[in-house]
Amino acid sequence: MTTAPLTAMPIGTESQLVIAPMLIVLVAAVGSLLLGRRPRGRIGVSLAGGAAFAIAVAAIDWYIVLAPDAPGIATYQVGDWPAPFGITLVVDGLSAFMLTMVAILGIASLVFSTRVLPELDRRSYYFPLFHFLALGVTGAFLTGDLFNLFVWFEVMLMASYIFVAYYGGPQHTRAAFWYVALNLLASAIFLLGVGGIYATTGTLNMAELARRIADPVAYGIDPGPIVGLLAMLLSVFAIKAGLVPFQFWIPTAYRSAPPQVAALLAGATKKVGIYAIIRLSFTVFGDAQIAVSLEVPGVGAVAGDSPLAFVGAALSVMAAASILVGGIGAVGRDSLEGVLAYSSIGQVGFIAVPVAIAATTANPTLRHVGIVAALVYALNHTLAKGLLFLSVGAIRSATGTSRLADLGGLAGRSPPLAIAFFVGSLALVGIPPLSGFFGKFLVFDVAARAEAASVLVLLLVGSLLTIAYVTRTWNLSFWGARTDAVEGATADAVQVGVVVVLAAAIVAVGVGFEPVYEFADAAASAALDSEGYREAVGEYAPTGDQAGGGHE
Amino acid sequence: MTTIVLAAVIGALFALGTFLILRRDLIRVVWGLAIISQAANVYLLAMGGIAAGTADSVPVLAGHGEHVPETADPLVQALVLTAIVIGFGMTAFALVLSYRVYEEHDTLDVSELGDRE
C-alpha cells in the first residue's frame, strides 16, 4: 500500500468505497444463485467474491481510517437522497474494525466451505445463502439508519434460519423452528422500539437522532421515553449477541448449523449485536441529557444524567450472568459444538463487561479504554472461536462425529490440526503472545481502573472456568487413546490449511499487536465521536414542526 | 377517537398473538407470530400519527382542490410496507418449516417434540 494522495485513488472516491463491500457481496450472491447447475462455477464466483470483498474492506481500512491523511469517516447517500430522508451508509473506524474482523473469518469459512458438502450444494443453495448472510452482516455494520438496521438484521436472519435447518433432520428442524419463532418475536419488539423512537423524535436517521437527542429543546421533543425504548432495543441486540437471559437459543442453534456456519454465527452475527449496542448507546444516545434513576436488584440505585447509566447497569448484570452461565455450561457438555456454544455465551460476557463499564463511568479516558478493550476482545473471540468451530468442521469431516466420548488421540492423527486447535484454545484462555492475552489484559485493566473489585473477581472466575473447559475438551478429544472413529480418519488438507492460517493470524495479531491496537483505538474514538458522526452525515435545518410525529 | 380505537385494536392484537404463541400446536404458534408482527405494524402506523393531510405530506391528494382526508405519516407507511413484506416472507417460511417439523416428527404438538436441547 502506498500513501498516494486521495485524488489518485485506484477505485472511485471514498464515498463510493463505502458501498463497495455490499455491492460485491450482492453480486456474488446473485451470481452464485444463477450458477446453480454448475457447482464449480459457483465455487469460483464465491471465491472471487470473497477475494474482492477482502480487497474492498482493506481499501476502506486504509483510505478511510488508517492512512495518515485519511478522513476517518465517509458516507454514501443511497440514491443521492440527502439525510435524513434517504438512507445513509456510514463507514467510520468502528464499522471498519468490525468489517475487517468479519472479512477475515468470512473468507476462512468460505474457503473451508468449498471442501464440505459440494454434492449437497447443488440442491441446497449453500453458497448464495452464505453470501446473503455476509450481506446482512455487512449492511448492519454500514447503515446509518435505524429502520435500515432492522432490514439488514432480517436479511442476516433469513439466511441463518436456513443454515440452522440445513441438515433437515428431526433435531435440526426443531431447533430451526424455535430459532425462527424467537427471532420473529425479537423483530416485532425491534419494530416497537423503532416506532416509539420515531414518535418521540420524528426521525430514524442515526445522525439526525443524535442531533435531536442532544438538544431536545430546540427540536421540541420530550426525551423521557428514550430510556425505555433504548431498553427495548437493547434486549433485541442482546438476543442477537446471546447475552443471558437471552442465551437459551444458542446451544441448540449452534449445534444444529453446519460447523463452518456456526463459526460465522459466533464470530460475525453475534458481533452485530455487540456493534449495535455500542453504536446506539455511545454514538447516537451518548450526548443525551436525560435524568435516569431506578433501582436495579443486585446493583443498587442507578442514577445518571444520560441513558448510558441505564445501559451500563443492565449490561453489567447481563454480562456477569453470561460469564457464569457460559463458563459453567461449557464444562459439562458432551460434544465439541456444545462446549463451543456455551463458551461463546461466556466470551460475549467478557466483551460486554468493558462496554458496561464504559457506559457507567463518567471518565472519558476510561470510557475510551473500555470500548478499546471490548473491540480487541471481540476480535480475539471472532478469530479464536471461528478457528475452533472450523476445527470441529474438519474433525467432523474426517471422523463423522464431534461427540467427546467418540473422540481421542486426534493429536497423533493430525498434528497441524492439533496445533491450530491448541492455539485457538490458548487464545480463548488468554496466554501471551496470542491475541487473547491482550484482550484479557485490557478487560482486566479496565475493571481495575474502574476500581470494581467484584468485577475483577468475576473475571477471574470466568477465566478459571475457561481454563477448565478448554483443558477438558483438549484432553478428551486430542489426547488419550485413539478411538475407532479417529483411527481410520484422514483430515482434508484444505480444511486443515484454513484452520492453520487462522491460527497463524491469531499469533500474528498477538505478536504485531501495535497496529491492531491503533486500529481499535481509532475505532473507539469513532464510536465516541458523536459530533463527528453527525457532521459527516450532514446538517439538516429543522423547520420546527418536524418533530413529535404528529402528537401535538 | 381514532387514537383510542387504534390503541384498543393494537392491544387486542398483541393479546391474541400472545395467546396463540402459548398454544401447544405449532401452526397456532406461527399464526400467533404473524399476528404479533401485524400488531407491530399497526402500532408503527399509530406512532407516526394520523394527521390532517397537507400539500406537503400528500401532494397527490392536496392537488385536487377538494377536501383532503386524514392520512398516516407517509414515511411510516413506507416502513410498514417494508415490514409487511418481511413479515409475510417470514410467516411463509415458518409455515413451511412447521410442515418439515411435522414430516420429521409426525406431530405438531409442542409437548411431544421433546425438549429443546
Query: How many angstroms separate the CA of residue A322 from the nearest CA in chain B?
Result: 18
C-alpha cell at A545: 414542526
Full-model pTM: 0.91
Per-residue confidence at B114, pLDDT binned at 50, 70, 90?
low
What does the alpha-carbon distance between residue A346 and residue A332 come to, in Å, rounded to a whole number? 14
User: Which of A151, A176, A195 has its CB closest to that of B97?
Assistant: A176
The alpha carbons of chain B give a radius of gyration, in whole angstroms, of 19
Across the interface, whether the CB atoms of A184 and B29 are under 8 A apart is answered no
| Phi-psi map region of A297: left, alpha, beta (phi>0 left; psi -120 to 50 alpha) | beta
User: Which of A158, A165, A198 has its CB closest to that of B47?
Assistant: A198
DSSP A132-182: HHHHHHHHHHHB-BHHHHHHHHHHHHHHHHHHHTTT-SHHHHHHHHHHHHH
User: Which of B30, B105, B116 has its CB closest to that of A170?
Assistant: B105
Query: How many angstroms separate the CA of residue A423 from the nearest CA in chain B?
Result: 29
Query: Is residue B27 less than 8 Å (CB to CB) from chain A?
Result: no
Q: What is the rounded average pLDDT of the residues B80-105?
A: 92
Measured CA angle at A171 (ends A165, A174), to 5 deg: 65
Q: What percentage of chain B exceeds 90 in pLDDT?
A: 53
Residue A341 sits at φ, ψ, to 5 deg, of: -65, -50
For residue A47, what pLDDT is reported?
Answer: 93
- Which of A423, A378, A414, A401 lies closest to A485 in space, CA to CA? A401
Mean pLDDT of chain B: 86
Query: Is residue A233 less than 8 Å (CB to CB) from chain B?
Result: no
Across the interface, whether the CB atoms of B100 and A165 are under 8 A apart is answered yes
Q: Are A392 and A261 in contact (CB under 8 A)?
A: no
Rounded-to-10 torsion of CA A23, A374, A327, A108:
30
For residue A541, what pLDDT is reported?
Answer: 45
**Which regions of chain A are under pLDDT 50?**
1-11, 541-552
The alpha carbons of chain A give a radius of gyration, in whole angstroms, of 23
SS3 A335: strand
For residue B60, what pLDDT is reported?
Answer: 73
Query: How many angstroms separate the CA of residue A244 from the nearest CA in chain B?
Result: 17
Across the interface, whether the CB atoms of A151 and B86 are under 8 A apart is answered yes
Residue A538 sits at φ, ψ, to 5 deg, of: 120, 145
Residue position matching grid coordinates 411510516:
B76
- Which of A147, A151, A152 lies closest to A204 in space, CA to CA? A147
Q: Which residues in chain B (35-54) have CB-CB distances under 8 A to chain A?
A: 36-37, 39-41, 43-44, 46-51
Contacts of residue A173 in chain B, CB cutoff 8 Å? 97, 100-101, 103-105
For residue A501, what pLDDT is reported?
Answer: 95
A194-208: buried (b, 16+ CB within 10 Å) or exposed (e) per residue? bbbbbbbbbbbbbbb
Nearest residue on chain A to B88, alpha-carbon basis: A184
Q: Are A256 and A167 in contact (CB under 8 A)?
A: yes
Q: Are A94 and A275 in contact (CB under 8 A)?
A: yes
Q: Which residues in chain A (154-193) have CB-CB distances under 8 A to chain B?
A: 154, 158, 161, 165, 168-170, 173-178, 180-181, 184-185, 187-189, 191-192
SS3 A306: coil
Contacts of residue B28 in chain A, CB cutoff 8 Å? none
For residue A507, what pLDDT is reported?
Answer: 94
Q: Are A374 and A282 in contact (CB under 8 A)?
A: no
What does the alpha-carbon distance between residue B21 and residue B30 come to, in Å, rounded to a whole number? 7
Contacts of residue A248 in chain B, CB cutoff 8 Å? 116
A509-547: buried (b, 16+ CB within 10 Å) or exposed (e) per residue? bbeebeebbebbbbbbbbbbbbebbbebbeebebeeebb
Q: Are A243 and A348 in contact (CB under 8 A)?
A: yes
The total number of residues shown for chain A amounts to: 552
What does the alpha-carbon distance between residue B26 and residue B32 come to, in Å, rounded to a whole number? 10
What does the alpha-carbon distance between residue A242 and residue B106 come to, in Å, rounded to a whole number? 31
- The residues pairing with A76 across neighbouring beta strands, listed in sequence order, are A89
Across the interface, whether the CB atoms of B48 and A199 are under 8 A apart is answered yes
C-alpha cell at A518: 491503533
Best interface-test mutation with B: which of A173, A229, A233 has the largest number of B CBs within 10 A? A173
User: Which of A175, A181, A251 has its CB closest to that of B29?
Assistant: A181
What does the alpha-carbon distance between residue B20 and residue B28 come to, in Å, rounded to a whole number? 6
Contacts of residue A196 in chain B, CB cutoff 8 Å? 47
User: Which of A180, A185, A195 has its CB closest to that of B97?
Assistant: A180
Pairing of strands A88-92, A292-296: unpaired
Q: Are A341 and A250 in contact (CB under 8 A)?
A: yes
Residue position matching grid coordinates 449492511:
A139
Listed in sequence order, the residues at least 6 apart from A464 whose beta carbon sits closer than 8 Å to its beta carbon are: none
A452 C-beta neighbours (distance < 10 Å), count? 19
What does the alpha-carbon distance between residue B52 and residue B63 come to, in Å, rounded to a whole number? 14
For residue A515, what pLDDT is reported?
Answer: 92
Contacts of residue B50 in chain A, CB cutoff 8 Å? 550
Q: Which residues in chain B (66-95) have CB-CB distances under 8 A to chain A?
A: 73, 75-76, 79, 82-83, 86-87, 89-90, 93-94
User: Which of A168, A187, A198 has its CB closest to that of B48?
Assistant: A198
Where does A9-148 show beta strands of DSSP type E? Answer: 73-77, 88-92
Residue position matching grid coordinates 468485577:
A455
User: Which of A154, A198, A549 has its CB closest to that of B86?
Assistant: A154
Q: Which residues in chain A (260-319) have CB-CB distances under 8 A to chain B?
A: none
What does the alpha-carbon distance between residue B97 and residue B108 come to, in Å, rounded to a whole number? 11
User: Which of B39, B73, B94 has its CB closest to that of A180?
Assistant: B94
Q: Which residues in chain A (359-398) have CB-CB distances under 8 A to chain B?
A: none
C-alpha cell at A182: 424467537
- Which of B35, B38, B42 lies closest to B21 in space, CA to CA? B35
Query: How many angstroms separate the CA of residue B4 from the nearest CA in chain A?
Result: 14
Across the interface, whether the CB atoms of A191 and B44 are under 8 A apart is answered yes
What does the alpha-carbon distance between residue A546 and residue A552 come to, in Å, rounded to a whole number? 11
Contacts of residue B117 in chain A, CB cutoff 8 Å? 251-252
Across the interface, whether the CB atoms of A165 and B83 are under 8 A apart is answered no
What does the alpha-carbon distance between residue A440 and residue A463 come to, in Å, rounded to a whole number? 9
Residue position matching grid coordinates 404438538:
B109
Contacts of residue B94 in chain A, CB cutoff 8 Å? 177, 180-181, 184
Q: Are A246 and A84 in contact (CB under 8 A)?
A: no
What does the alpha-carbon distance between residue A105 and residue A382 come to, in Å, rounded to a whole number? 7
